[in-house]
Amino acid sequence: MPAIGITGAVSTGKTTFCDCLRELVPAATFFDADQAARELVDLDPEVQKELATEFGPGIFSSNGRLNREQLRAIIFQDAAKKSALEQILHPRIRRQWSVEADRHRTSSEFFFADIPLLYETGGETLCDRVVVVACSPDIQLANLMRRMEVGRAPAEAMIKSQMPLEEKIKRADHVVWNNDDRTVLAAQAASLVELWRQEKWTKA
């Protein structure tokens, strides 16, 4: 079965789309890059050492937990620090999900990789199909401001720090639009699953 990459931009609805896919194909395997990143910074001593070297030991609290808000503030103000963080985490995350993708090619079930920076890290080369979850700029901005509890200016800066969504849309195999309610997104997910089931990789 195929490896299908799910990407988009901050607050466009990737998580909700993946939830829809989980309901449609409960036997599928999902890889969540954000979760993998959290596990790396919380559990991997080598990663923690590299983070402390790059950002200073103060990036960790007294109980050894990463201060994510402080780190987020640093990387959105400093492109070099953002790149340094990506160099620490992304090669490790790519190794994890590429192994999973290869292992599931002999499986009878789908493999979905939720990778926010899929195109930025060249991960599309490991996918049979890529889905970009998109929404209009005003909805994206409102979603981000509400979710992160930040003002308009920092939310806009966060969005501008990423690869333009328009560029990802141009490169995608499929684009789903999250401008309406969840039922509309779920219907698009169902249409894609039906399409993928009819592809040659699903035939005996």
Model confidence over 49-100: pLDDT tens digits? 999 999 998 899 888 889 988 898 898 888 899 999 999 999 999 999 999 9
Q: Which tens digits make up the pLDDT trace of 145-158? A: 999 899 999 899 88
- Amino acid identity, residue 14? K
Helix axes 45-55, 68-77, angle to 10 degrees: 50
Is residue 202 over pLDDT 80? no
Q: Which structure tokens are listed for 102?
A: 């290869």
Tracing tokens 């607050």 back to the chain, one arrives at 11
Is residue 203 over pLDDT 80? no
Q: Which structure tokens are listed for 7?
A: 């990407």
pLDDT attached to residue 204: 38
Q: Which tens digits make up the pLDDT trace of 17-36? A: 999 999 999 999 999 999 99
Tracing tokens 């779920």 back to the chain, one arrives at 186
- On whether the CB atoms of residues 54 and 83 are closer than 8 A, the answer is no
| 47, containing H or E segment | helix 45-55
Residue 150 to residue 117: CA distance in whole angstroms: 22
pLDDT attached to residue 161: 86
pLDDT attached to residue 1: 82
pLDDT band, very low/low/confident/very high, at 135 (cuts 50, 70, 90) = very high
pLDDT attached to residue 32: 96
pLDDT attached to residue 130: 98
- On whether the CB atoms of residues 192 and 174 are closer than 8 A, the answer is yes
Q: If we measure between CA atoms, which residue out of 50, 48, 28, 53 comes closest to residue 38?
A: 48
Q: What percent of the chain has pLDDT over 70?
A: 99
